Chain A
Amino acid sequence: MSELTTLVVSILAFAPPVALAALGGVLSERAGVVNLGLEGIMRFGAFFGAWAALASQSAWVGLSAGALAGGAAGALLAALAIFAEADQIVAGVALNLLALGLVTFLLEWALGAAGGITDPVPALPSLSLGGLGRLPWVAAAAMLLLPALASLLLAKTPLGLRWRAVGENPRAVAAAGVSVRGLRFFAVTASGVAAGLGGALLPLAVLGRFEDRMPAGQGFIALAAVVFGKWSPLGALGAAVFFAGAEALQIEISSSGGALAALVPRGLFLALPYLLTLLALAGFVGRAVPPAADGVPWDPEAR
């Protein structure tokens, strides 16, 4: 099997959770709400996805439950950040902490899972590639389709126009008679659905079980992908694919045992998403400008 095939399979198999969570980040931030809770939302999506899949013995039910749980977590974040006007950063961090504790508790209490790991969950359909393992094509298809749809939604529809406007200039949206808070609530909930879907892929398409340490920082990689992808759905997809590709390339290089393996330290590739994000923010990879009202709570009384 050629190295290129291995690389492509690796990207299609391992980029989807990050890509979908990053899409969630874009959906939220384009509406003006910073979603720092992606990691926690992915964790909820992963756990409830696995739980529902185990209970129903259907991966599709699991996937739906993961999306629903993500949506609920997104709605919670939205309620805190938009209606309670909590600091968006603090609310996001709080959501991550809640997911950390609550999921560990539920895993023990509801599933009685020994070793912090569940029984095998029903897997999403996948394509057998012989020695290459299995390719979970549902995850790959979702990764390629959903950002494209979101891109169309944001760019071509009236809802998309308002969505973007509420993140750039909420005052104008309010003047046009549209509820800023309502629109933002919808956007952050949609963000949760996407990130929850990404999280649900971890047990249903990657590990085949839920494991207590999921998603192990992939939500933060997704945050990096949002910035590196310049707050656009396709950009975030590109960033997620790029990060996964760099990781796969590093594995190829260090497995080949050539001179390059000795030359490029492993840690460099592990740090790559963060380094590139810093570079993007510093303006080295073209300008990375967040939506103007990103992170600014909507206060109708403010002048």
Chain B
Amino acid sequence: MRPLLCALLAATACRRPPPAPRASGEKTIGVVTDVGGRGDQSFNDGALRGLEGWACGLAYGASGYRPLSEPERLAGVPADVIERAGAAGLPRVAGLRPYVLQARASEDYRPDLELLVSRHVALALGVGFMLEDAVAAEARAQPEQRFLLIDSPILDAAGRPVTLPNVESLTFREQEGSYLVGALAGLATRSGKVAFVGGMQVPLIQRFEAGFRAGLAATNPAAAAAAIVQYTGSFDDSSAGKRVAQALYAGGVDVAYQAAGADGLGVIEAAKEAGRFVVGVDSDQSQLAPASVLTSMIKHVDYAVYLAARDAAAGRFSPGNRELGLAEGGVGLAPIRIDFPGKAAALEKLAALRAAIIAGQISVPSRPEPLAAAPR
């Protein structure tokens, strides 16, 4: 079985060895994706876009890398990233090359990282909290190698964040973007019934829930009191997501916010069939149901990885964890393309709330209060 799978994987070119280093002074940034792999339209794609596309100016295709023209490279960079990047913009980083390994099973994480170390990459990138264990172990074994971990700090045995001298980690304040989603849902709902659909009930997803409910309470306290919170219990089952969402929409919900991985695809399909609103997550999911996806809460993994690659090219490295929120351009909302009554006023309100969060006037909770405590 194993050889067959390996042959298949080889055929998808994920194990293609990197070309030999050319000019001296060229630095390689190594990436190990999590099992979602290239094409997940989420975390992995975001990280690869930041590194391959924005930093290196390359596009990956069936025949390997192809250089991008400058307009191509900057096409599709979201407006809030451009705003955040300022006048300097997103220049191509000279002398960088990507080397990407796609892990197909969690047992691959450590060997893939070892391969990056043996290739003497300037920075070894682990994409996704699932690589936390592997990055921590490999970083301890290879103190000379610099690592970057996306979406989780390094944790000790008791689950507390620790700092390793050769690991930088980036996490996102998802609650801040989710706060804006909640505020928008409170302004866009007409039935006064809104819902949150999470995947597994884990702290990461609860940050989405906490921010969403806080934002909802800011613009529509009545809807916040009656808000429905559901967890599907998985991240891979689109049927489960649709099953939950279909029941919610049947019960009169007209805006749902999903943070449920593949289950969320089912939530979006249910919204499409019921003709109601849904808010996507991680990347702009508008194309899945243009008439139903109100907006998406985007994590700008691409921008974070771009900045890290730029730092690595310049030899800069700052160990420890960094949190990226609205102020740092780490999270944001996708363009709201759907019209609804009072949209102009809602957009103004959202801009004001965003400014208040960036200015520190609003502090967004990262843990939901127990549902029982919510007034009914």
A and B co-occur in one complex: yes
Chain A residues with CB under 8 Å of chain B are 1, 6, 9-10, 13-14, 17, 94, 97-98, 101-102, 104-105, 108-109, 113-117, 131-134, 202, 206-209, 211, 213-218, 247-248, 251-252, 254-255, 257, 261-262, 266-267, 270
B246 surroundings in chain A (CB, below 8 A): 9-10, 13, 132-133
B39 surroundings in chain A (CB, below 8 A): 108, 113-116
A104 surroundings in chain B (CB, below 8 A): 8, 12
Q: Which of B237-281 contact A (CB under 8 A)?
A: 237-240, 242-244, 246-252, 262, 265-266, 269-270, 272-274
Given A206-B238, A216-B236, decide whether A252 and B247 contact each other with a Cβ distance below 8 A: yes
Given A105-B12, A202-B239, A206-B242, decide whether A131 and B230 contact each other with a Cβ distance below 8 A: no
B40 sits at the interface (CB 8 A) = yes
| A133–B273 CB distance below 8 A | yes
| A133–B238 CB distance below 8 A | no
| A10–B233 CB distance below 8 A | no
The A contact surface, by secondary structure, is helix
Q: Please, could you name 18 A-B residue pairs with CB atoms under 8 Å apart, sorted by A?
A: A6-B247, A14-B239, A101-B4, A101-B8, A108-B12, A116-B41, A131-B249, A132-B249, A202-B239, A206-B239, A207-B238, A207-B242, A207-B266, A251-B244, A251-B247, A252-B247, A262-B372, A267-B233
CA distance A115 to B284 in the complex (A): 12
Chain B 20-42, CB-CB to A under 8 Å as 1, else 0, gives 00000000000000001101111
| B11–A132 CB distance below 8 A | no
B231 sits at the interface (CB 8 A) = yes
Select B250's contact among A102, A131, A266, A270, beta carbons within 8 Å.
A131
A214 surroundings in chain B (CB, below 8 A): 238
| A207–B41 CB distance below 8 A | no
| A105–B239 CB distance below 8 A | no
B251 surroundings in chain A (CB, below 8 A): 6, 255
| A101–B9 CB distance below 8 A | yes
| A94–B250 CB distance below 8 A | no
B371 sits at the interface (CB 8 A) = yes
B228 sits at the interface (CB 8 A) = yes
Given A101-B9, A115-B45, A262-B372, decide whether A218 and B239 contact each other with a Cβ distance below 8 A: yes
Q: Count residues of B near A (Cβ-Cβ below 8 Å).
A: 48
Q: Which 6 A-B pairs have the closest CB atoms?
A: A115-B41, A216-B237, A213-B236, A133-B273, A101-B5, A251-B247
| B239–A207 CB distance below 8 A | yes
Select A257's contact among B244, B269, B272, B376, beta carbons within 8 Å.
B376
Given A115-B41, A207-B242, A213-B262, decide whether A109 and B249 contact each other with a Cβ distance below 8 A: no
| B233–A117 CB distance below 8 A | no
| A94–B231 CB distance below 8 A | no
**Residue in A closest to B283 when the chains form the complex, CB atoms:** A115
B201 sits at the interface (CB 8 A) = yes
CA distance A97 to B11 in the complex (A): 17
B1 sits at the interface (CB 8 A) = yes
B318 sits at the interface (CB 8 A) = no
B163 sits at the interface (CB 8 A) = no
CA distance A109 to B9 in the complex (A): 11
B145 sits at the interface (CB 8 A) = no
B242 surroundings in chain A (CB, below 8 A): 14, 206-207
Q: How far is the CB of A256 from chain B (nearest CB, A)?
A: 9
| A109–B250 CB distance below 8 A | no
Q: How far is the CB of B103 from chain A (nearest CB, A)?
A: 13
B240 surroundings in chain A (CB, below 8 A): 216, 247
| B8–A105 CB distance below 8 A | yes
**Residue in A closest to B42 when the chains form the complex, CB atoms:** A115
Q: Which of B104-158 contact A (CB under 8 A)?
A: none
CA distance A94 to B9 in the complex (A): 16
Q: Which of B4, B9, B39, B239 has the most CB of A within 10 A?
A: B239
**Residue in B closest to A214 when the chains form the complex, CB atoms:** B238
| A116–B40 CB distance below 8 A | yes
| B40–A98 CB distance below 8 A | no
| A14–B265 CB distance below 8 A | no
| A255–B230 CB distance below 8 A | yes
| B239–A255 CB distance below 8 A | no
| A257–B243 CB distance below 8 A | no
**Residue in B closest to A262 when the chains form the complex, CB atoms:** B372
B233 surroundings in chain A (CB, below 8 A): 266-267, 270
**Residue in B closest to A18 when the chains form the complex, CB atoms:** B239
CA distance A109 to B250 in the complex (A): 39
| B243–A255 CB distance below 8 A | no
CA distance A114 to B49 in the complex (A): 14
B45 surroundings in chain A (CB, below 8 A): 115
Given A134-B273, A254-B230, A255-B228, decide whether A14 and B243 contact each other with a Cβ distance below 8 A: yes
A108 surroundings in chain B (CB, below 8 A): 12, 39
Select A216's contact among B9, B36, B230, B239, beta carbons within 8 Å.
B239
CA distance A138 to B246 in the complex (A): 18
Given A98-B4, A101-B5, A115-B39, decide whether A211 and B247 contact each other with a Cβ distance below 8 A: no
Select B269's contact among A98, A207, A247, beta carbons within 8 Å.
A207
